[in-house]
Amino acid sequence: MLMNKAISDLKKTLTSKNVLTELEERYAYSQDASPGLKGVADVVVFAEDIEQVQHIVKIANKYKLPVICRGAGTNTVGACVTEHGGIILNFSKMNKILEINPENMTARVQPGVIVGVLQNEVEKLGLYYPPDPSNLAVSTIGGSIAQNSAGARTFKYGSTKDYIIDMLVVTAQGEILRTGSNTVKNAAGYNLGSLFIGSEGTLGIVVEATLKLIPKPQCSKVIMAYFDKLTDAANAVTSIIKQRISPSTIDFMDKNAIQTVEKFYPVGLLTDKEAALIIEIDGFKSSIEEQKDIVTKVLRQANASAIQYSSTEEEASKIWQARRSSMGACAKLKPNITTDDVIVPRENLPQLVKGIQGICDKYNLTVCMVGHVGDGSVHPQIPIDFNNKEEYKNYKLAKGEIYDLTVKLGGTISGEHGIGLEKRAYISKVVNSTALNYMREIKKVFDPNNILNPYKIF
């Protein structure tokens, strides 16, 4: 009843093409890349400007209905799944780059801008927006802010949070809150922006963001190092870091990931190796050969059994395409694909990688491991069949053990993918009760009626 009234109000505010009520449409926009989590929104709306977002939120607040923002719906933790129905607020029509300012080295964007599109545009001007989630070809700036997305380049350049200097946020009451200023530094009051970054759309709705850009590195080279032992690859990461050089990436693929990618998207990876590191070095042209020699020396000392170098940008991008297609390739092995996102202090990476392999062997599960290992971050991708009860039970047991191991090694259960619905039952393993209580209080302050993406995170 309330929903019917709300839909009628929404139709008065938005054009009819921007209000979807058919079941098929609602279902399609209510899922994300999380495995096995399902929901159906009552209505899907597309906002075209900030005022429309304010109207939508005011209607939701009036009728106390959930509002769930949606970028590309690629998060893997059910952060966009409409567990309790409500309104899906889709940002695909607010996808404009409003300004690129070369003097200030900033870009002002709407939330639906695709990360990869922004990167291409700023790079044409010799600028760089480093955060590079593996699915940057589709994921949006709004989604990246709400998940604090990271990627391979985080090792050298940091994650999304390091590039947000200002945001316009629509609050749960439909007001506009500005988090910063158009400057790279800001010490005026509390840093409210940091609360919204990584908040999964539970505290406010990002309707515009000003991003910091940096100069694009003059040159880069990809070094692909293969190892005959998994732990040698993990140990090589610490050896590289000890050299005090800073590659832009130190990424990882285990044997199953290499073989699966090569099977479905062949690019010439060496499939008889146990693991590979993808190391990218960048900087001035004159520095590349020196960096390459240092990294090569360390890799040889760390027992790399084969090393390949990209000689053109096309070759480098082929290697990255292969790495970025790993989840898609693994998804072809079984009806369902699960991916996780655990992170430990780098010194404990060899134990984590070995431990995950051991746990999956124990439960008879195939695991394809990839990860931004320079940060200590590992994504175990486990292809399974959710209809196979035994396999599903084993998967759940393995997941719990992987989290316990991660915590034992001083790590946490999400480095970049967030908590959403998928991990909320586990959050108390890594966030203590005092901190959780403060988080709940913060939620109440910003969203007293619990309408913004309710029941996500905790």
Closer residue to ligand FAD, CB minimum distance, 252 or 363? 252
Closest-approach residue to ligand FAD (CB): 143
| Whole-angstrom distance, CA of residue 211 vs CA of residue 156 | 18
In the complex, minimum distance from the CB of residue 390 to ligand FAD, in angstroms, rounded to a whole number: 27
Is residue 31 a contact partner of residue 73, using CB atoms and an 8 Å limit? yes
* Nearer Cβ to ligand FAD (233/337): 337
State in angstroms the smallest separation of the CB of 251 from ligand FAD. 9
Q: Minimal distance in Å, beta carbon 326 to ligand FAD?
A: 8
Q: How far apart are CA 86 and CA 60, in angstroms?
A: 8
Say how many C-beta atoms besides its own lie within 10 A of residue 428's C-beta. Answer: 12
Torsion region of 200: left, alpha or beta (phi above 0 gives left; psi -120 to 50 gives alpha): left
277 touches 350 (CB < 8 A): no
Q: Is the dihedral of CA 302, 305, 311, 315 positive or negative?
A: negative
Question: What sign does the CA torsion over 308, 318, 279, 128 have?
Answer: positive
Angle, vertex CA 400, rays to CA 395 and CA 402, nearest 5: 90
What's the number of CA atoms in the CB half-sphere (13 Å) around residue 403?
A: 18
Q: What minimum distance in Å lies between the beta carbon of 229 and ligand FAD?
A: 25
Spatial contact of 332 and 264, defined as CB atoms under 8 Å apart: yes
Residues 6+ apart with CB under 8 A from 169: 176, 177, 178, 179, 196, 204, 205, 206, 207
Kindly state the smallest distance separating residue 203's Cβ from ligand FAD, in Å: 8
Report the residue number, 32 or 391, with the smaller CB distance to ligand FAD.
32
299 versus 379: smaller Cβ distance to ligand FAD? 379
Helix (H, G, I), strand (E, B) or coil at 253: strand
- By C-beta, is 81 or 304 nearer to ligand FAD? 81
CA 371 – CA 29 distance, rounded (Å): 28
Nearer to ligand FAD, 86 or 350 (CB): 86
Smaller CB separation from ligand FAD, 309 or 426: 426
**Closest distance of CB 154 from ligand FAD, Å:** 8
Cα–Cα distance between 149 and 97 in angstroms, integer?
19
Torsion region of 438: left, alpha or beta (phi above 0 gives left; psi -120 to 50 gives alpha): alpha
CB of 6 to ligand FAD, least distance (A): 19
- How far does CA 73 lie from the centroid of its chain? 11
Rounded to a whole number of angstroms, the minimum distance from the CB of residue 131 to ligand FAD is 8
Instruction: Indicate the residue among 282 and 341 with the shorter CB distance to ligand FAD.
Output: 341
CB of 167 to ligand FAD, least distance (A): 9
Angle at 12 between CA 11 and CA 14, to 5 degrees: 60
34, 77, 79, 80, 347 from 421: Cα distances, Å? 9, 6, 6, 9, 30
Tell the smallest beta-carbon distance from residue 333 to ligand FAD (Å).
Answer: 15
In 3D space, the residue among 161, 244, 157, 152 whose CA is nearest the CA of residue 196 turns out to be 161
- Identify which of residues 417 and 443 has a Cβ nearer to ligand FAD in the complex: 417
Q: Quick one: 133 or 247, whose CB is closer to ligand FAD?
A: 133
- Which of residues 149 and 357 has its CB atom nearest to ligand FAD in the complex? 149
* Smallest distance, ligand FAD to C-beta of residue 412, A: 14
Residue 330 and residue 337: Cα distance in Å, rounded?
Answer: 7
In the block, tokens 């949006």 appear at 140
Residues of this chain that interact with ligand FAD (CB under 6 A) are 32-33, 68-76, 79-80, 91, 111, 133-135, 139-140, 142-144, 146-147, 149-151, 200-201, 205-206, 327, 416-417, 453
